[in-house]
Structure 1
Amino acid sequence: MDAPTRLLIHGAGGRMGQALQRLCREGEGCEVVAAVSRRVESRVVDGIPQFAASELAGVPEYDAAVDFSLPEGFDAILDLCLQRGKPLASGTTGLSSGQQSALDAAAMRIPLVWASNFSLGVAVLHDLVERAARALPGWDCDIVEAHHARKLDAPSGTALTLGMAAGEGGATPRYASIRAGDIVGEHLVQFSGIGERVELVHRATNRDIFARGALHAARALVGREPGRYRVRDLLD
């Protein structure tokens, strides 16, 4: 039996950070050796060592880091992974162009992935959308996304990345957004021609899919060559 992957969770106090810790405790082939958040009230929570962000340099050895923090905390975890030569899987949103450039530079030295959505199903959808756009030149492409009523940004980051996949296939996507109730996340990519229509759909019914996908990506990065990977590159 393979030893569990030792993980550093950065941004451990947030909703995603809490989900990552819970899933590791439940058995996802990983062990959290350090959970890092801005403030720490207890040194150990449910068997997981807790560290304040100011103590990041002193965390124990880990195999990969998973980051769901804030842009102002992102530089520190990227620097630590570079110093230690460890992989990084990050879902921190709102990164500046400079921080995205720093990711590109870091990928020359370590394996890493940044994604707005770590769902494995959405990763497959990206591939299907690009292939459909390439196979259906001249067809209309529309992306309709639906989320809960509290989500402010529109279109969603996932819709925009799906639009990038369509663009790589030669399509010019249009967007529509729905904000209603407690919808976790739904994305429809529709290609319309004369007399026919192709619809590619992903529906999320549980937010744990994003944490599970991030854990899968972090484990898959261990032992890989340096590079900036996409989630779909890590499905095998």
Structure 2
Amino acid sequence: MEEPLPIRILIHGASGRMGRALLRLVAERPELQLVAAVSRSGQPLAEAPAGVPVLPVEKLADAPDFDLAIDFSLPEGFGPLVAACRAKGAGLVSGTTGLSEAQLAAMDEASELVPVLWSANFSVGVAVLRALVHQAAAALPGWDADIVESHHVHKKDAPSGTALSLGQAVEQGRGSPPHYASLRCGDIVGEHLVQLTGAGERLELVHRASNRDIFARGALEAAVRLSGRGPGRYDFGELLLAGGRP
């Protein structure tokens, strides 16, 4: 039986923290073949494997053919990437947060043509946390609900995308949204506390990330799971539960 062809990957936002981690860790996945990286400057990156072109964002259209893009960039670069994925019939795995309503709508439109997976957090633990939060909120609809998230001082959006996704799980469980609090301090990778408080008792569900590599490895896993699927919007947790590639 012939081995399946490797999945050709383009990394968008390659000069950022997540992009550099992806460049380092992609070699751990033999199913994936990195064919190009895109960064704001287009300058060579030490983490990029030898022979892999690093393109400036203005040259995205010149990228070699790819099967799937992994995107951790800024909102201003999101539109051209979605257009490139549509033009090449390539899937999209994105963790870019702070997207506008128009950008979210463009992602929905693209999903009619290509497979799309957007997640605010690619930690396997957070995917499980969302399920637990939904269950707890449904069981305790009358309790107060609060989400406190902490990140490094350079993170711009607040509340974080992960906090908002956990808030959606709360609202889906009990019918009303939680309150949010955001902290930006030091070099915290990411911490999320979901607190449900009743009379005389409190339930806390917490996830702490101590290493950014967990998110990069999760995004690479998502790319493998998304490859070969038809057009549509996909959920990271559901792909994890579904098993391997189709």
Question: TM-score by structure 1 length?
Answer: 0.89
Give the Cα separation in 2 of the matches to 1:165 and 1:68.
23
Question: Which SS does the other structure have where 1:9 is aligned?
Answer: strand
1:138 to 126, 139, 142: 142
Measure, in 2, the Cα distance between the counterparts of 1:177 and 1:41.
Answer: 34
CA offsets 1:96-125 (integer angstroms, 9 cap, x no match): 211111111111111101222222211211
Deviation digits for residues 68-116 of structure 1 (CA, Å, limit 9, x no counterpart): 2222221111111112221101122232211111111111111101222
Instruction: Verify the 8 A CA contact 1:189 1:200 in the aligned structure 2.
Output: yes
Length, aligned pairs only: 236
Structure 1 window deviating more from structure 2 (164-173 vs 146-155): it is: 146-155
User: Does 1:111 find its partner at 2:125?
Assistant: no
Partner AA of 2:215 in structure 1: F
Aligned pairs for 1:51-66 (under 5 A) are 51-66=55-70
Hey, what does 1:128 align to over in structure 2?
132
Structure 2 unaligned segments of length 5 or more: list them: 242-246
| One of 162, 166, 169 as aligned partner of 1:158 | 162
Q: How does 1:46-125 map to 2 (within 5 A)?
A: 46-47=49-50, 48-125=52-129
Secondary structure of the equivalent of 2:113? coil
Matched, 1:196 2:201: yes
1:216 is aligned, of 212, 221, 238, to: 221
Deviations 1:163-195 (CA, angstroms, capped at 9, x unpaired): 111011124312233344332211111222334
How far has the Cα of 1:24 moved from its partner? 0.8
Aligned to 2:18: 16
CA distance in 2, matches of 1:76, 1:181: 33
The 1-side partners of 2:4 and 2:145 are apart by 44
Which amino acid in structure 1 is aligned with residue 21 of structure 2? A
The CA RMSD over aligned residues, in Å, is: 2.3
Aligned to 1:233: 238
Are the aligned partners of 2:193 and 2:206 in contact in 1 as well (CA < 8 Å)? yes
With 80-89 and 144-153 compared, the bigger mean Cα shift is at: 144-153
Identity score, percent = 57
Residues 140 and 172, structure 1, Cα contact 8 Å, conserved in 2: no
| Alpha-carbon offset, residue 42 of structure 1 | 4.5
What's the counterpart of residue 168 of structure 1? 172
Deviates more, 1:26-35 or 1:89-98: 26-35
Amino acid at match of 1:141: A
The question of 1:184 aligning with 2:189 is answered yes
Q: Using a 3 Å threshold, how does the CA distance of structure 1 residues 222 and 125 change in structure 2: closer, same or farther?
A: same
TM-score, structure 2 normalization: 0.86
- Aligned partners of 1:88 and 1:39: how far apart in 2? 22
Change in Cα spacing, 1:28 to 1:177, as seen in structure 2 (3 Å) is: farther
| Cα 1:234–1:40 shift into 2, 3 Å | same
Gaps of 5+ in 1: none
Shift of 1:3: 4.8
Is the 8 Å Cα contact of residues 145 and 177 (structure 1) preserved in structure 2? yes
Q: In the alignment, which residue of structure 1 is the partner of 2:38? A: 36
> CA 1:22/1:28 → structure 2, altered by over 3 Å: closer, same or farther?
farther
Aligned mates of 2:30, 2:22 — CA distance in 1? 10
